[in-house]
Structure 1
Amino acid sequence: MADVARHAGVSAQTVSRVANGYEGVVEETRALVLASMRELGYRPNSAARALKSGQFRTIGVIVFTLSTTGNMRTLEAIATSAAAAGYAITLIPVAVPTQSDVRGAFTRLGELAVDAVIVIMEVHLLDSSTVTLPPGVEVVVVDSDAGDRYAVVDTDQADGARQATEHLLDLGHGTVWHVAGPEASFAAERRAQAWRATLEAAGRPVPEVVRGDWSAESGYRAGLTLATEPTCTAVFAANDQMALGLYRAFAEKGLRVPEDVSVVGFDDYPEAASFSPPLTTVHQDFSEVGRRCVDRALHQLTAGEPDVGTTLVPTHLVVRGSTGAPRPPADAG
């Protein structure tokens, strides 16, 4: 910094103000200092800044899996929003969601020096007393019911499932079958609970849940089962991938979508509009979820105190060609 000051003919304090982006520096002087920085190859020392300010301008992200589109799109939005605010992200994937691995991830982030942590995984993994959060690090959790303990950002899963189920009932279907996600998933359980509550409120029969694991293969297996149910004319799948598996199973069994069975998914992946027929699905705004995660993390840093409570990002139903009125019985009319 002293070398830059001598080269530019200004004080070290002026160089510091320019390096840290402070206001109050004449633009001509700022340009002169920046030119000297470039010529001398000067870069501000982030470690020294951290020692002086007590902030590392880094957000840690712990994520269970990178194989799902939802997690990847949320992570992309977190990285973009963090960069726009002048923060970097440090990613720690957790291969197996055990207490030991989660504890290790937090320990590693503590060693890497981060200001806040965003967690994209099941919140029950944070409940153990053996998981120690790094001191002074703020936490935001994605997709959980831990709003009484952490800052939580989540899609409005329940309202999305309600919209999907009501859409099928409004088309005239007597009831709606459900292919749910894994039992351990909070998102899957909230969608299943809302589906059930919507059917009960309408006075309709509640079929037995068919359980999947988010994959298209599990949706295919569920579809083979549902194809044998003569009363199954409408299915709400807990995500688009399982809906894709349903398409394949129904086609193999000679059932047409939507003429014989209507299908609704959840997520609105970019590929959903290219299914044949295009998939009716619940749209999740993953970009908004990621942006709000960063906003809440930075708010905690600015306020200097923990933040609790849940922020819900709205969902909406996108109606395409995979849903329609049920076909009248063969002997009708």
Structure 2
Amino acid sequence: MNTLGTSPPEPTGPAVPAVSVAGLRVHFPIRTGVLRRVTGTAHAVDGVSFTVPARSIVTIVGESGSGKTTTGRALVGLSPITGGWVSVHGLPLDEIRRAGALPRLAQIVYQDPYASLNPRMTIRAMIREVITVHRTTPREKTGERVEELLAQVGLRTELADRYPHELSGGQRQRAAIARALAVEPRFIVCDEIVSALDVSIQGQIVNLLKDLRREQDVSFLFISHDMSVVRHISDHVIVMYGGLIMESGPCDEVFSAPRHPYTHALLAAVPVPDPRAPGLRGGTHTRAEPPDPSGPLPGCRFQRSCAFATEVCREGAPPPAVAAGADGHTVACHHADSPGLRAALSPKHPSTDDPKTPVAPHSTDGPATERTTAP
């Protein structure tokens, strides 16, 4: 099918979410031996459900192997979906792919810009190519559109004729974002896009995404393992472990009142400049033992690393339940409402004492401005 110039179909109904996910599963065959025979199945994502509202930034956070990147890749058609249901802009993902319209609705920006930027093309040529292939702008206005995209992401015009290796890490990431915006998507997956950048540049990219969300009507799924960055960018936070969602809720609620032991452990791992400051100490990780995706245990996936695990945790997986007194805050834990666990997770993390602490405004490519709070 010729997909050139294909425009995304328009759904009906008000307040259509950017993305809706129900029971998403992504399993991969495990092949071993010389003949590469299938000897097992890796449960990378094992039944997650969530929504990315329009004009919002939803973050998936977790350690390596939690399934967060695979989830993001599945939403843009880069990882095969084993089961479940996904809609983008109110339309089934399969239907959008058959129509050839998925690139116009959803894009992805990677941690390493070299994974997507052609080293043999200038930034201008790469953005122009995307505009030409997808026919988002009349040919005579392509140059003007390139300049507009560069301005939106804070890249000076003279940098457009440079090659990726001639730019700094932050500049390359801005170029990758500009290229993703060239198709005018409604939804962008940002996979660890600030993890390799300096702290000051991280703040600039975070504020850039916030500005784009507000000005360009774009929704983001932000994937990260850095809770300090997550705190500053997210409207809603999803905590994943072993291919499942452990906790999900509004950002302020999750950070100020974590209800799952794994969320508590992630927050406790955030470095604190003053060791005498009050906050989470020690966490609840009894062992740093990642889950085995090839043979998930019955019951709670976090049971081997949880100090609060009991027999009920080993017998059955806890379904996500709404946390008591919280709006939209769900926790997959058998003991979420037990007095003992709530008392253990009650101390606030120092980084959440001031939820409105600003980060450095994004600028062009002059001297970097440091954030007021370091992660």
TM-score range, shorter chain: 0.3 to 0.5
Bigger radius of gyration: 1
The structure with the greater share of residues assigned to helix is 1
Higher RCO (C-alpha 8 Å, min separation 6) = 2
- TM-score normalised to structure 2 length: 0.29
